[in-house]
Amino acid sequence: MSSVLVAVTGFHVLVLVLLFVATLDKGWWVLPDGAQLNLWVDCVRTGNRSWSCSRNGNTAAQALQVASLLLSAVSLLLLLAQLQAPRGRRLWAAGGTQLTAGLLALAGAGLVTSQGRGPPGSRFGHCLGVAWLGGALALANGVAYTCLRTTQ
């Protein structure tokens, strides 16, 4: 049973990496010239050595992505704390927190998808897919936590 807990914990670290990449990496939108924009600041090259940058106004999606990343990190800490509990206890706190993180990540990705408010002529980039994948895997991870019991 302990190998299952190790595998699920490793899976959780993968989910954290995916949510981190989805939140901070460029690639939410791809411009027609191939430049990529992130969720936070839109920067477009205007001349030879100058950039025009402005804040992205999608604050709800930003808040949902950050909240999902933070809740997933808290869930990992809760898991480590719950592993010290007496044998046979379910991992409800870690599972519930991870389920919430997955729902928030999916809500943020869904919000960006439904609004489709990238710059004119742009298309969605890889970070949106990473956010959808990270949210779905976080839900699966949360379900696994609620099914598992401590082994100590």
Q: Residue 122: inside a domain, yes or no?
A: yes
Q: Residue 152: inside a domain, yes or no?
A: no
| pLDDT bracket for residue 117 (50, 70, 90) | low
Q: Residue 16: inside a domain, yes or no?
A: yes
Strand partners, 35: none
Q: Residue 41: inside a domain, yes or no?
A: yes
Give the chain as a DSSP string. -HHHHHHHHHHHHHHHHHHHHHHHSS-SEE-TTS-EE-SSEEEEE-SSS-EEEEE---HHHHHHHHHHHHHHHHHHHHHHHHTTSPTT-B-HHHHHHHHHHHHHHHHHHHHHHHH---STT-EE-HHHHHHHHHHHHHHHHHHHHHH-B---
pLDDT at 72: 96
pTM of the full predicted structure?
0.86
Q: For residue 114, give its domain range.
A: 2-147
- Please state the rounded mean pLDDT for residues 23-27: 88
- Evaluate if residue 96 carries a pLDDT over 70: yes
We report the CATH number of the domain holding residue 9 as 1.20.140.150
pLDDT at 134: 96
Q: Residue 88: inside a domain, yes or no?
A: yes
Q: Residue 70: inside a domain, yes or no?
A: yes
pLDDT at 44: 65
Q: Residue 31: inside a domain, yes or no?
A: yes
pLDDT at 70: 97
Q: Please give the tally of structural domains in the chain.
A: 1
